[in-house]
Amino acid sequence: MPNITSLIQTLENGTCDRTNASNPRLYVEDDYSNLTTIDMVSSKFIRLHKQNLIIIDKNSTYSQSSIAAAFSNNAYYIVLNNNSIVIVDSNNLTVLNTMNLSDIHRSCDIMFLNN
């Protein structure tokens, strides 16, 4: 059984960093140890440096608002509010492909099972 007291002490003694991402929807870590999130106010896809939480990118160049995101195989999968998923290269943020999902409406999350 884990030592809860030790865990709480570690959390209390840790350092706290803050960044400005109003109403983040989720946090996903990529292969480069960046944190990514969707800002629910602006619907922008945001990448943050994991160590200091400095915003690396704020991307809103997609045709629709972002709802959710996941990371797999060096690509971000960003769910848009028009029932599509944009697949974005994690190195240069270029769109690799778009999947249109006519039978799925307003998905609020995305995940991968078994890679």
Of 18, 66, 75, the C-alpha closest to 45 is: 66
Structure tokens at 106: 């307003």
**Cα separation of 51 and 99, whole Å?**
33
Q: Is the pTM of this model over 0.85?
A: no
Domain count, the chain: 1
- Tokens 């944009």 correspond to what residue? 86
Provide the residue range defining the domain that includes 60.
21-100
pLDDT of residue 93: 83
In a domain, 42, yes or no: yes
In a domain, 90, yes or no: yes
Each residue's pLDDT tens digit in the chain (115 positions)? 567 887 777 767 766 555 555 555 667 778 888 888 877 777 777 888 877 778 888 776 566 777 778 888 888 888 887 878 889 888 888 889 988 877 766 666 676 776 5
Report in angstroms the alpha-carbon separations of 98 from 40, 55, 72: 22, 25, 15
